[in-house]
Amino acid sequence: AKSRKLPLFRVGDMAAIGAPIGLFLVRLANFANQELYGRVTDVSWAVIFKDSFGADRLPRHPSQLYEAFLEGIVIFVVLWIATRKFKALTRPGLCTGLFLLMYGSFRIMVEFVREPDATLFGPLTRGMAYSTPMVIIGLMMVIYVLRQPPVGVYEGEPQDEEKAKLRAVA
């Protein structure tokens, strides 16, 4: 964004809107590759992974599918509604903030059913430690952006200079 003199929040919003699609596909690949599986459980939808990468053939939470749903589908739908119904793109940085807030929150939630990795501080896993700043930054961004006046991006409203920069990205 900086090298092309594009508005950073606008570029972030475009990336945030597309990221859930990639996250959805990556989490499905994690499931197919039997990576990052969940804790042992007795729920009826538990999955038994075949002997791979030290799997113990015990029923486990399909945490990859939980993440595919939350980080992929839910975030995509929320951002789609935010941009279509609530015109979130008139507030540069709002989609980025919402993405960070939701991704971090969902990641922390799924950590409770995911096979734990090394903990950093007491019960705080590495995934929780990395996600907590995302939640804080995302929340701060949403609050900051909502306090700013909206700018035009719908129905030919952008300023000529901004319109030219947005076309350069496309």
Q: What is the pLDDT of residues 52-101, one digit of tens each?
A: 555 578 999 999 999 999 999 999 999 999 999 999 999 999 999 999 99
Residue 110 lies in a domain: yes
pLDDT at 101: 99
Q: How many domains does the chain have?
A: 1
Predicted structure pTM score? 0.85
Residue 2 lies in a domain: no
Q: What is the pLDDT of residues 119-169, one digit of tens each?
A: 777 788 889 999 999 999 999 999 999 999 998 765 445 455 555 566 666
Residue 1 lies in a domain: no
Residue 15 lies in a domain: yes
Residue 134 lies in a domain: yes
Residue 71 lies in a domain: yes
Cβ 117 vs Cβ 38: under 8 Å = no
